[in-house]
Structure 1
């Protein structure tokens, strides 16, 4: 894919060039991966003669000018056939290819999480305050949350990829429903998906239940479908560890728990019992407070996407180009 369309793009620029081969493209990506392990201030320093920067593995695999030629012409699609509705059209074939491989080798686990992930880019396509990566492109990610495979990415998506039939539920819920479809196409299992309050609504949990998918997530105060639980103001007046719960007409449980702050969790499968006990620090003394089962499960299995981001950050490619997806 990269060889075909990079050669096509180079030929349309009307510049003299030799055809990029598959071996050269593999060497090119190998250098990019190596730059995550051996980081230098500038990419040209890999080919310098200085003993403290020269890398024999890189210089013997490809010349500097050849690397920069491939870098300038790198493409994975035909620019003349881009979809105007897809903001990620230039990298959509790459998304589809890696998603196929992610799902082909995916371990069979029940617990999954859905969250947003940021691809760093300082051309400022999006800014999210308080995130480890604040500037870049926001993409949706579904990952395994089970402890033995936590952080395995199963699916990458974007807003323009969400099926129209799911958009009636809203942006956040439609992402979760799309991911549930991906899971069901892989293997029919009673999966359990965890997500935060950006995604959670009662209609989403009801729709997941109709497809035999369990779902649990924190929920905002204005999305509780008038469930009969204590208000946030009243709950703040109670002692730490106090909880209250109620259910909707379609068996969606909503639990409100008083911890450092008021926590709201909605689930279509988990229960309040058994009650667990967790340690907290209060006025420099350790105390034990009650914690409902659904909140304990949420804390244990929500971090799949965050773990994936953490793994990527350790060896993130340091060689980057200035090209950007047109939005």
Structure 2
């Protein structure tokens, strides 16, 4: 990332923030993982506060995961699942996206790396979604309600178990983002760093609220 800053956060499914980092460029801690991508380095850095990896499952979106990260997390004891981009698959022989789009909605293809115990699944919804995991499975297949433009209503679409699990737990980071945006602290001035300062205050207030309502 050449310009701007990123606010990385590690959150529970409830939205409580356990760790965060303001990213403005490569840091000394990131240099400890020079053999990994930026996304992978961020995940490992955020998980540094976790004492017992086997008590937690980690979910992230397609900015972060690749097969190397999933293998590293498995070695550390973390169960991890995340959507991934095609250029992160390292020639995984999944069915091509163009071919899958010709199949019925709900179709899927998968490959399992026996040596590294990594599962990669590609599922067709409105578009193809590719997901990787180091512990979850394809089965049992479940049905989900998806909107269909043709019938102007919802219908049942089959979905692999790994995607269903991921969708149930991925929203932890979005909850505090939504609340911080809705109840933002107002500070006079136009300095660019004021938004960073108020962001930390807002995040702290939301975490205190979570502790009060669900200690």
Give, in whole Å, the separation in 2 of the partners of 1:144 and 1:294.
Answer: 19
Q: Is the 8 A contact 2:131 2:163 kept in 1?
A: yes
Larger Rg: 1
- 1:256 pairs with 93, 106, 122, which one? 122
RMSD of aligned alpha carbons: 1.7
Distance 1:238 1:188, change over 3 A: closer
- 1:205 pairs with 55, 58, 70, which one? 70
Give, in whole Å, the separation in 2 of the partners of 1:140 and 1:279.
Answer: 32
Could you say which residue in structure 1 is the equivalent of 2:210?
none
Q: Is the 8 A contact 1:193 1:213 kept in 2?
A: yes
Q: Secondary structure at the match of 1:175?
A: helix
Q: Secondary structure at the match of 1:260?
A: coil
Q: Is the 8 A contact 1:227 1:247 kept in 2?
A: no
Could you say which residue in structure 1 is the equivalent of 2:163?
295
- 2:35 pairs with 155, 168, 174, which one? 168
Q: Which runs of 5+ in 1 are unaligned?
A: 1-124, 127-136
Give, in whole Å, the separation in 2 of the partners of 1:161 and 1:298.
Answer: 31
Structure 1 residue 156 corresponds to structure 2 residue 20: yes
TM-score scaled to structure 2, two decimals?
0.80
Could you say which residue in structure 2 is the equivalent of 1:312?
180
TM-score scaled to structure 1, two decimals?
0.53
Could you say which residue in structure 1 is the equivalent of 2:59?
194
Q: Is the 8 A contact 1:246 1:255 kept in 2?
A: yes
What are the superposed Cα offsets for residues 175-217 of structure 1, whole Å, 9 maximum, x if unpaired?
A: 0111222213xx4543211111111110000000000001111
Q: Is the 8 A contact 1:162 1:175 kept in 2?
A: no
Q: Is the 8 A contact 2:80 2:134 kept in 1?
A: yes
Q: Secondary structure at the match of 1:241?
A: coil
Structure 1 residue 142 corresponds to structure 2 residue 10: yes
Between Structure 1 and Structure 2, how many residues are aligned?
185
**1:243 to partner: Cα distance:** 0.7
Give runs of aligned pairs for residues 13-28 of structure 1, distance below 5 A. none
Give, in whole Å, the separation in 2 of the partners of 1:286 and 1:171.
Answer: 39
Give, in whole Å, the separation in 1 of the partners of 2:8 and 2:147.
Answer: 35
Give, in whole Å, the separation in 2 of the partners of 1:176 and 1:224.
Answer: 18
Could you say which residue in structure 1 is the equivalent of 2:199?
none
Q: Is the 8 A contact 1:229 1:245 kept in 2?
A: yes
Structure 1 residue 241 corresponds to structure 2 residue 109: no
Q: Is the 8 A contact 1:166 1:178 kept in 2?
A: no
Could you say which residue in structure 2 is the equivalent of 1:104?
none
Q: Is the 8 A contact 1:240 1:259 kept in 2?
A: yes
**1:316 to partner: Cα distance:** 1.1
Distance 1:195 1:320, change over 3 A: farther
Q: Which runs of 5+ in 2 are unaligned?
A: 194-215
